[in-house]
Amino acid sequence: MLDASSRFPALPATPGVGYKPQHFNDIVENPGTVGWLEIHAENYMGDGGRPLAQLRALAERFPISVHGVGLSIGGETPLDPDHLARLKHLIGWLNPASFSEHLAWSTHESAFLNDLLPLPYTEDTLARVCAHIDQVQEALDRPMLLENPSSYLAFAESTWSEPDFLREVSRRTGCGLLLDVNNVFVSATNLAYDPRSYINDFPLDAVGEIHLGGHDEDEDEHGAPLLIDSHGAPIVDPVWALLDHTLALSGPRPVLIEWDNDVPAWPELESEAARAADALSKVPA
């Protein structure tokens, strides 16, 4: 049993990276500006082996953020009790500095679709999401963070703006928010609104973590730009500028570099983290 609670009670306002097993030795020997690590919960729910051994070793040295991709918080059907139990087990022995999940759904009628699928922002969705978050926070006995999604499309029936919807979820459940600045840029481009206005409207006091990542560029059948959240490329300059805009309003926050596909060698990932450290260093505490 590992008790990291006294060592790392919270994520520091420094850069972190999404942990990839191929970087284990580099991270231990040369973390550079990286002060914490994020793991995907579902990759550490096996019975044993190297993934859990590496996680135990890393948790001795770094604050860990557990980021779930499989709870289906926005699902129309009840949360999967088996999955919630697995999550409770992981959070229980690891005692991470943070746990976060997504404003999205992924499981329906016993199929897990392995993607973060979109929700209409209605009263029904709000009630369901809040009930599920209450259930998770009660099971885990800790507050969680909820992340804003990348949007490719909108629902005619939505009656809430996304920042207002997330503010209300946070107000009703007491959960914190994870602000993915790349997702804001992707969604704003795709749905033709101003990303800075979104950030200005966002309840930044509730933000416990910021995400940054790369995206791909395409266009839709009308010739309009269609950005796709790929986590497989360097972060583009307009997203770095949006981070500066965000940090100037929010103050320093833990900033994560997410790079999940076509993962680069450690020096390239670490240089993205160093750029985030620069951005953080310009912000008055």
Partner 1 sequence: MSRQSAFRAAILDAERPAPPDLQDGLGRSATKRFNVYRNNVAVSLTEALEASFPATARLLGDENFRSVAGRFLRSSPPESPLMMHYGAGFPDFLASLDALAAKGYLADVAHLEQALRAAYHAADHAPIAPDALAHIAPEDLPETRFGFAPAVCLLGSEWPLLSIYRLALDPKAPKPRAETQSVLVARTGYDPLPHLLPPGGLTFATALMAGQTLGDAAETAAEASPDFDLSTCLACLLSAEAITAILP
Contact positions toward partner 1, by CB under 8 A?
42-43, 45-51, 53, 69-72, 75-77, 80, 82-83, 86, 105-115, 117-118, 120, 152-157, 190-193, 220-222, 224, 226, 228
Of 50 and 61, the one with the shorter C-beta distance to partner 1 is 50
- Residue 226 near residue 272 (C-beta atoms within 8 A): no
The least distance separating partner 1 from the CB of residue 45, rounded to whole angstroms, comes to 6
Cα torsion 17, 236, 233, 215 to 10°: value is 100
Of 45 and 241, the one with the shorter C-beta distance to partner 1 is 45
Of 35 and 75, the one with the shorter C-beta distance to partner 1 is 75
Of 69 and 243, the one with the shorter C-beta distance to partner 1 is 69
Of 45 and 277, the one with the shorter C-beta distance to partner 1 is 45
Longest dimension (CA), the chain: 56
Of 63 and 68, the one with the shorter C-beta distance to partner 1 is 68
The least distance separating partner 1 from the CB of residue 67, rounded to whole angstroms, comes to 13
The least distance separating partner 1 from the CB of residue 47, rounded to whole angstroms, comes to 4
What are the angstrom distances between the C-alpha of 244 and each of 101, 128, 222? 24, 34, 32
- Rounded Cα distance between 108 and 272, Å, is 36
The least distance separating partner 1 from the CB of residue 123, rounded to whole angstroms, comes to 14
The least distance separating partner 1 from the CB of residue 134, rounded to whole angstroms, comes to 20
- Residue 36 near residue 276 (C-beta atoms within 8 A): no
End-to-end Cα separation, the chain, in angstroms: 35
The least distance separating partner 1 from the CB of residue 86, rounded to whole angstroms, comes to 8
Question: What is the three-class DSSP state of 257?
Answer: strand
> Pick from 74, 122, 128, 124: which is nearest to 101 by CA?
74
